[in-house]
Amino acid sequence: MKKLLYLSLIAISLTLMACPYEGDVALCTYEEAYKTDKKLFDIWVAYDEEGGRDEVKIEKGNKAVMFLSHKRYEKGNKLKSIEKYRAFATLINNEMLFTIEKPDGKYHYCRYAWTSKNEFYVQFIEEDFMESNFSVDTVTTENLIESLEVNLGKDALYSSKMEFYRKYSPEYEKVRIFMKKSGF
């Protein structure tokens, strides 16, 4: 179990160091977005190996839009930043991808999957991969989707998995206690 948790922590730290691709277009409109998985509506926590954590509160917005409140804590429980985002999903080749709308009007893109009822992971579309494999004069929703359709099956398209635990769940408590005992 400790080995699995340690590997998870390494994956989280690699994710935090990676650069997600930032785009100027959404993968769909709010109206075209797929309904959100209701199990996501809660508070979720991800830890990093430096002892920091990310806390994300996911709430239902209008129709298929979610509101995300992201708090980043440094080691010692010091609040570093608070950000707010909108997220909405589209289906591309049977893969559910989220468009994460930032306050500055730019977008990140990611996929998620459940690993248990109280745990899921997120993988962002990688900037390095997109720079090497997606070159157009003007980025549009259509040509971005075309590029993603071709590359969805490639592991290099995605960042490492960032694992989130439902706050106060048994899984969260196990990881929290492990982090504390490990000196993080």
- pLDDT tens column, 78-135: 999 999 999 999 999 999 999 999 999 999 999 999 999 999 999 999 999 999 999 9
pLDDT, residue 184, reads: 64
pLDDT, residue 18, reads: 60
Give the whole-angstrom CA distance, residue 157 versus residue 20.
10
Instruction: Indicate if the pLDDT at residue 9 is higher than 50.
Output: no
pTM: 0.85
Give the DSSP letter of residue 157.
Answer: G
129 contact partners, CB below 8 Å, separation of at least 6: 21, 151, 154, 156, 157
- Across the chain, what does the average pLDDT equal? 89
Mean pLDDT computed over 148-156: 96
Give the whole-angstrom CA distance, residue 111 versus residue 97.
5
Asked: is 2-181 a CATH 2.40.128 domain? The reply is yes
- pLDDT tens column, 43-62: 999 998 888 999 999 999 98
Residue 38's identity, in one-letter code, is K
DSSP strand pairing (66-74 vs 78-92):
antiparallel
Listed residue (103, 108, 94, 98) closest to 25, CA to CA: 108
Residue 183's identity, in one-letter code, is G
Note whether 83 and 1 are within 8 A (CB). no
Q: Where are the domains of the chain?
A: 2-181
35 phi/psi in degrees, rounded to 5: -60, 145
